[in-house]
Amino acid sequence: MIMNECEWLHRQLEELPLFKYPFNLEQLPHNGIYFFYENGEIWGHGGNHPRIVRIGTHKGDNFRSRISSHFLLNEHKMNFDQMKSAPSDRSIFRTNIGRVLLYRDNDEYLDIWNIDFTPRIKREKFGHLRDIPKEKRIELEVSRLLRESFSFRFIIIDSQEKRMGSHGLERSLIGTVARCGQCGPSENWLGKHSPKPEIVKSGLWLSQRLDADEINESEKIIIADAIGKTKRWIGGNNEGME
């Protein structure tokens, strides 16, 4: 039986170790593409294999920083106020989970949560509308969910041009999983409460690049090579840390 691209991708990635919180940032590379999994989410290709629920990458050499921002490994970032952006403003992943929590509870604070307070002009214009204690409670719950329910794998891709953009690998990886007619969310998937129809429909914590083309044969070679490189890097890195 011929497997489709989504099954191929899932099976290839299962050659790599799964990282769960807590983990050591020093065990992560400086550049790469990550693949998140979520407790209770199973693929549709037979058997009890975890389903990819998010794919992402980063600019510069900031892979570790990106992962750190998702899991909020720097607790000092919780010391924000009306004139400082909250952790979720640095992670659309966190923003989307927070949106789900508010939308599920019919909480009108969703309108404020949707504002990106990273730009100073937004903080000056709308900062007085913020309920900081409430935001901190939401941020803590987002962190709890990510740390308890999510895990990830990664492949090392050093070139930013190869990772992201209109011709980057991230785009076709997302398209591969999003287009799969066999993989879908479970009945109790948290993302079904999202106000973003793209998330609800796709079963992914993503709203962009969902209509991208699937990976092609040349990209499969790049992925397989990257997995081999990543396995060697992880092995050597672990040896050096013992």
In DSSP notation, 106-159 reads T-TTHHHHTS---SHHHHHHHGGG--HHHHHHHHHHHHHHHHHHEEEEEE----
pLDDT tens for residues 85-128? 999 999 999 999 999 999 999 999 999 999 999 999 999 999 99
Strands 33-42 and 150-155 turn out to be: antiparallel
pTM of the model: 0.95
Q: Please name the residues in contact with 187: beta carbons below 8 A apart, sequence gap of 6 or more.
A: none
pLDDT at 236: 83
Q: Tell me: the pLDDT tens digits for 175-232?
A: 999 999 999 999 999 999 999 999 999 999 999 999 999 999 999 999 999 999 999 9
Please check whether residue 12 is in contact with residue 123, taking contact to mean a CB–CB distance below 8 angstroms: no
pLDDT at 132 over 70: yes
In whole angstroms, give the CA distance from residue 140 to residue 138: 5
Q: At what angle do helices 5-13 and 169-178 cross, to 10 degrees?
A: 110
**50-56 β-sheet, strand order:** 19-20, 150-155, 33-42, 50-56
Strand segments (E) across the chain: 19-20, 33-42, 50-56, 150-155
Residue with tokens 């106000």: 195
The model's pLDDT over 19-65, given as tens digits with 9 standing for 90+, comes to 999 999 999 999 999 999 999 999 999 999 999 999 999 989 999 99
Per-residue confidence band for 3, with pLDDT thresholds at 50, 70 and 90: confident
Q: Which residue in 181, 186, 179, 171 sits closest to 219, CA to CA? A: 171
